[in-house]
């Protein structure tokens, strides 16, 4: 199989949730910047921008050339919620660009992400859940459903981050931030109920406990960050009315995110060590890196906003774990791209029928 064919096949089968790569890279970059590690933070920012541009080009290519495959993903309740990673990736990247002074670019990303959030927020539940003839839909509920929550909270984080910059739009941005934060909070409850019901009503095989279940913790973490940013916003009617409530809930949600660590680690051990499911690179594994980085940033932000030094110290320590996992995953991704897309297949591969994409 020649390179153009391998590339076209890669685009056709591009995972809807691949923007989790941008989410993970952007949030680790932001965490490093918060700790004063400027050089590695800027390197990861550059990587995040390149990945965002490449994924956007590939996604548009897929939209034009492989609409049937894209439509099939949107109708698949097990994959469709991955499209929300575009929203979260755009906003995480935008928040990181604010630090560099790229305010207008961040505002443009927020505008695109917010519009996409509103559209997909109604389209995806219909195409993948309510409108599909496949039943029972609940049988395919998984961790990707929590990405909807992450997308909502990312809108809140970006709006709250831009509010001090665009003072003329301060009240509007404050309203958007509080609105998206509240919607995300209720979506978390809904996603949690659906996923828990699936785990209780249907057999849970080792192959079913995939990496996106970590997004349940990442969704909590970004909700904490959004809350902390709202608490720090300048006075506005929506903020004044909810600041105390959001500050208190942010601490409670951070505690729940912390509580989720042991069961998620135990699930991975049960899947890969007890039942010997191979641990090989898959795009969904970025759904582990993002929650790790998001939890670290959540602790740092919450420690500052609510004056909780212990929480901040936990976040700062966990940032190193997120950075190490990101480096390992990025190396694995590059190896996969090289072996499946860039490298010319060996003759022996063709003879034995080894997959090349």
Flag whether 179 is in a domain. yes
**How far apart (Å, rounded) are the C-alpha atoms in residues 18 and 51?**
10
Does residue 23 form part of some domain?
yes
Would you say 340 and 10 are in contact if contact means Cβ atoms under 8 Å apart?
Answer: yes
| 14 — pLDDT class (breaks 50, 70, 90) | very high
* 3-class secondary structure, 114: helix
Residue 357 in domain: no
Phi-psi region of 265 (alpha: psi -120 to 50; beta: other; left: phi over 0): alpha
* 85-127 per-position pLDDT tens digit: 999 999 999 999 999 999 999 999 999 999 999 999 999 999 8
pTM over 0.85: yes
Q: Do the domain assignments include residue 46?
A: yes
Is 244 contained in some domain?
yes
User: Which pLDDT score, from 0 to 100, does residue 354 have?
Assistant: 45
Task: Quickly count: other Cβ atoms within 10 Å of residue 161's Cβ.
Answer: 26
Cα–Cα nearest to 23, from 146, 124, 128:
146
Residue 315 lies in a domain: yes
Structural domain total, the chain? 1
**Which pLDDT value is given to residue 347?**
53
In the block, residue with structure tokens 């959540």: 298
CA atoms of 355 and 2, how far apart (whole Å): 13
Residues 128, 77: contact at Cβ < 8 Å?
A: yes
CATH number, domain containing residue 292: 1.50.10.150
40-64 pLDDT per residue, tens? 999 999 999 999 999 999 999 999 9
In this structure, are residues 135 and 101 in contact, taking their beta carbons and an 8 Å threshold? Answer: no
**Residue 352 pLDDT greater than 60, yes or no:** no
pLDDT in tens, 289-309: 999 999 999 988 878 766 778
Q: What residues make up the domain containing 276? A: 3-349
- Do 163 and 177 form a contact (C-beta atoms < 8 A)? yes
Q: What is the pLDDT of residue 350?
A: 46
> Is 355 within the bounds of a domain?
no
C-alpha–C-alpha distance, residues 214 and 197, integer Å: 17
Q: What is the mean pLDDT of residues 311-318?
A: 89
Whether 354 maps to a domain, the answer reads no
- pLDDT score at 303: 82
């Amino acid at each position: 199989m020649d390179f153009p064919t391998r590339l076209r096949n890669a685009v056709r089968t591009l995972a809807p949730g691949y923007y989790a790569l941008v989410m993970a890279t952007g949030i680790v970059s932001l965490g490093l910047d918060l700790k004063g590690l400027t050089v590695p933070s800027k390197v990861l920012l550059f990587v995040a921008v390149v990945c965002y541009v490449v994924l956007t080009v590939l996604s548009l290519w897929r939209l034009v050339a492989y609409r049937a495959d894209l439509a099939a993903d949107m109708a698949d309740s097990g994959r469709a919620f991955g499209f929300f990673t575009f929203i979260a990736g755009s906003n995480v990247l935008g928040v990181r660009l604010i630090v560099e002074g790229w305010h207008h670019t961040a505002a443009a990303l927020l505008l695109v992400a917010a519009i996409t959030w509103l559209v997909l927020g109604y389209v995806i539940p219909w195409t993948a859940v309510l409108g599909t003839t496949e039943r029972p839909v609940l049988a395919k509920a998984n961790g990707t459903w929590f990405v909807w929550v992450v997308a909502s909270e990312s809108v809140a984080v970006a709006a709250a981050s831009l509010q001090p910059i665009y003072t003329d739009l301060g009240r509007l941005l404050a309203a958007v931030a509080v609105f998206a934060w509240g919607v995300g909070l209720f979506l978390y409850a809904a996603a949690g109920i659906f996923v828990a019901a699936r785990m209780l009503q249907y057999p849970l095989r080792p192959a079913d406990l995939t990496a996106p279940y970590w997004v349940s913790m990442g969704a909590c973490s970004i909700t904490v960050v959004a809350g902390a940013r709202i608490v720090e916003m300048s006075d506005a009617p929506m903020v004044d009315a909810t600041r105390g409530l959001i500050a208190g809930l942010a601490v409670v949600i951070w505690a729940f995110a912390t509580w989720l660590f042991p069961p998620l680690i135990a699930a991975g051990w049960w899947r890969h060590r007890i039942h010997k499911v191979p641990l090989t690179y898959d795009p969904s594994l970025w759904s582990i890196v993002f929650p790790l980085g998001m939890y670290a940033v959540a602790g740092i932000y919450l420690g500052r906003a609510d004056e909780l030094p212990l929480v901040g110290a936990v976040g700062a320590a966990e940032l190193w774990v997120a950075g190490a996992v990101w480096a390992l995953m990025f190396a694995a991704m590059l190896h996969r791209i090289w072996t499946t897309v860039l490298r010319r297949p060996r003759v022996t591969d063709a003879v034995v029928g080894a997959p090349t994409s």
